[in-house]
Each structure stands twice: as C-alpha cells, then as structure tokens.
Amino acid sequence: MNKILKFSASWCQPCNILQKQIDNLNKDKKFNLIIDSIDVDDQYQLANQYAIRSLPTLIEIDPMGNEIKRITGSLTNDQLVEFCNE
C-alpha cells in the first residue's frame, strides 16, 4: 500500500493551512486522508533524501520508499482529495 508524506515546518503558514484542510476533510466521514507529517527542521535528512525545496510538499511513495508523484504549494480541498485518491 502506498503512503503519502507531507513535508512541512511549524513556521510555514501554507503548511499550517494545509494541515487544517486535512483535519477538516478527515472530520467528514467520506474522507480519511492518511498522511504522515514530516517536519523538515526535525527530519532534514529525509527532506534531503526527497529533495524538498518548497513547502508544503506532498509525496506519494510506494512500500519501498520510491516516489510515485508529488505536489507542492497551497492546494484547494479538491486538489488535495484528488492527489490523495488518484
């Protein structure tokens, strides 16, 4: 099963907005977005491994950790759901 990683930082305002969007969508019983949050300040080696250059960044990875797709920046709710459900 694939996993989605969210690279962000506590000081990043767009990251905080994205997290609120995820939380709000998960309150709706139709959605269950399972996303692992990675703080780039705490886990800089993982951020370097995935060449994170902008925040927030969502990356879908396969079970071996290989990148399948990524999206960067602010997202609408529809874009977020589409990315997570593709």
Structural domain boundaries, residue 60: 3-85
Task: Just list the catalytic residues.
Answer: 12, 15
Q: What is the pLDDT at residue 32?
A: 75
The domain tally of the chain equals 1
Burial of 52 (0-12, 13-18, 19+ CB in 10 A): buried
Q: What is the pLDDT at residue 29?
A: 67
pLDDT in tens, 22-80: 998 888 767 777 899 999 999 999 999 999 999 999 999 999 999 999 999 999 999 99
Q: What is the pLDDT at residue 26?
A: 86
Q: How far apart are CA 34 and CA 67, in angstroms?
A: 17
- CATH code at position 57: 3.40.30.10
Compute the average pLDDT of residues 11-23.
95
